[in-house]
A and B are shown apart, each in its own frame.
Chain A
Amino acid sequence: MSPNADGSDGGPADTVRQVTGTGVPVRGNDVDTDEIIPARFLKVVTFDGLGQFAFFDERFGDDDQPLEHPFNDDRFQGASVLAVNANFGCGSSREHAPQALMRWGIDAVVGESFAEIFAGNCLALGIPTVTAAREDVEALQAFIDEHPDAEIEVDVAAEEVRYGDTTIDASVDDAQRRALVDGVWDTTALMGANADSVDATAASLPYTDD
């Protein structure tokens, strides 16, 4: 019995072939991880409860009064598909960023492009980061604004995003697609099975003493 990627014990990691849910648009290029979760909220030893701090400094003013932000907007509460623009998640390697989004309710992100470490961190949590052309992403964001209750289907296996009568071509990084669709994203279990080969590789390197 191999453990799940979230650390809980029990059956093999789930597959993530498709995510369906309502959307929430967060606009802007180069949205960085300090925006997604400011550093002061990293002073924790677990990821529990981080959802409330997602985009905190953009959602709340100096006296913690709520500001206008999609994550505060009643229409988007309960959303699970986040629609973003280019280079989303740039900056630090903090997994706290996708953890905060996931704990707020996000199960998939659709955008023009993603920073690499961020996308890798999402994959470790089973969150697809799906890319599409700029016009298509902007159209999706506009659709969500007009139809906050409409379901968005993020089809990882078919590399499509569907909403209303529209289907857009999307791309999922090859390794990410295989990992999610085949349910092989528990890298600790996958790599742990190859311990003998790891020792052989270590022995072949001039700088390891063991």
Chain B
Amino acid sequence: MSEGTLYEKVWDRHAVTELPTGQSQLFVGLHLVHEVTSPQAFGMLEERGLDVAYPERTHATVDHIVPTADQSRPYSDDAAEEMMAELEANVGEADIDFDDPTTGRQGIVHVVGPERGLTQPGMTIVCGDSHTATHGAFGALAFGIGTSQIRDVLATGCVAMEKQQVRRIEVTGELGDGVTPKDVILTVIRKLGTDGGVGYVYEYGGEAVEAMDMAGRMSICNMSIEGGARAGYVNPDETTFEYLRGRDDVPEGETFEELREYWASVASEPDAEYDDVVTIDGDDLEPTVTWGTTPGQSVGVSEPIPAPGDLPADKRDTARSAQAHMDVEPGDTMAGYPVDVAFLGSCTNARLPDLREAAAVVRGREVHDDVRAMVVPGSQRVKAAAEAEGLDDVFTEAGFDWRNAGCSMCLGMNEDQLVGDERCASSSNRNFVGRQGSKEGRTVLMSPPMVAAAAVEGEVTDVRELEPVPEVRA
């Protein structure tokens, strides 16, 4: 077992007692709630005659089903309206703080938490969503839970958990131009496998991670679950503290300084012991894209797509069916793969820095005639901030649709879906068959600048090789 890690420290401070199963009862510092996985949990509570124990540590928003075009109520989709109404009733009755679309603070739950400063280092954070690991970017211990566990947290303020091992993922060196945190995490999953992280929590560190802003760290932690790890984190540092200073739910003055002391104290010790250490050379990475139907099936944009026969035996069948679904050939590169749709959004990559990086590529260029392209900001505040610096104009002038905040085409629970066998360049996190709303649809995961490049070229394109834009247009 690891020693002296952030994981150990935060775990120990939050462990209430051992349960008869041998699991620990872990105190939950922040419980984030959204409309899809919570209604049944509130229902279970009601059946048992239990109340929400700690509404003050519970926060809700709406993201999965919210329309990103016309948001007037009632929503045109009856099922979406019912879910929204149910959430409103549940949080109203329990007196839970709710960032609904009228507050100007609504958005994807994993964007809203950090943005408000609800997410802080040294906390335990849970949410009925597998991408909760996102919050680990702040040095929190954050993981996704199922609906029965949501019931547990609502009723008791705790979850039952078993302790896991810690794998340090050291990313050395410096990322090159056009290479982003998304490329780092896609590479991690490719190397360690979609189930390589089962039983582990991932600690991401090393020069390349330390150099990242909070948005980048969130992109990496976000996709821990795609590598099988239920949680991932980055040790908190000055970048973390400065991000938090002045946010809505972060105290000021002396209390801030006291908290900061606690935050700094939870970071892994320099001599911490890990159950496993994996090193990735950040200097070597290039823009990375998926060729298949699991996030582990990726290649550098200039690399050949592997032949199934060259893969480990247990990966071959999945690779064959994935290549048939995607209509790709071993030996080809993904560069040149035609795309019909470009989706810039999701809890992985829809924060302001993501939009800026994509806008920098789009500026002065136009979306390809055969591509429908959309930007779905991660939150209403991301949207407003982007508009304040004119990014909306950059995108709309190029031919992108500029939408309202939500999960949108990442998982096709609202109107934003692939149609038929459309091919989508997507900044989201899952390329599973059917994920984007059409079972014939094809998803290629990539970074925001790579989505922008694919949108303007109409095919997967190495963003580093785009022809320069003539200065006059800007």
Q: Which residues of A contact B (CB under 8 A)?
A: 3, 5, 7-9, 28-30, 32, 34-35, 38-40, 42-47, 57, 86-87, 90-96, 98, 113, 115-117, 120-121, 124-125, 134, 173-176, 178-179, 182, 184-185, 187-188, 190-192, 194-195, 197-198, 201-202, 204-208, 210
Contact = CB atoms under 8 A, between A and B. Distances in A.
Contacts of B43: 7, 45-46
Given A90-B294, A92-B130, 12 more contacts: A7-B151, A43-B82, A45-B86, A87-B195, A90-B228, A92-B129, A93-B129, A124-B146, A175-B162, A184-B21, A191-B19, A207-B262
A67 to B, nearest CB: 11
B19 A190 contact: yes
A40 B228 contact: no
Contacts of A93: 37, 128-130, 132, 144-146
Contact of B21 (A29, A35, A116, A178): A178
B40 A187 contact: no
Nearest to B198: A116
B185 to A, nearest CB: 16
B430 A34 contact: yes
Interface in B313-342: 314-315, 317-318, 321
Contacts of A38: 434, 439
Interface in B107-161: 120, 122-123, 128-130, 132, 144-149, 151-152, 155-160
B13 A34 contact: no
A207 B22 contact: no
A187 B152 contact: yes
B108 to A, nearest CB: 14
B241 interface: no
Contact of A188 (B64, B152, B230, B439): B152
Given A28-B317, A121-B146, A40 B158 contact: no
B44 interface: yes
A42 B195 contact: no
A46 B435 contact: no
Nearest to A60: B439
A113 to B, nearest CB: 6
Contacts of A197: 16-17, 25
Nearest to A192: B156
Contacts of B77: 43
20 contacts: A7-B43, A34-B430, A34-B434, A35-B434, A43-B82, A45-B82, A47-B147, A57-B434, A93-B129, A93-B145, A95-B37, A98-B146, A121-B146, A175-B21, A178-B20, A187-B19, A194-B17, A195-B156, A207-B29, A207-B123
B206 interface: no
A3 B79 CA distance: 31
Contacts of B245: none
Contacts of A134: 314
B152 A206 contact: no
B44 A120 contact: no
Contacts of B225: 91, 117
B232 interface: no
A206 B258 contact: yes
B413 interface: yes
A45 B82 CA distance: 8
Nearest to A173: B162
B146 A115 contact: no
B80 interface: yes
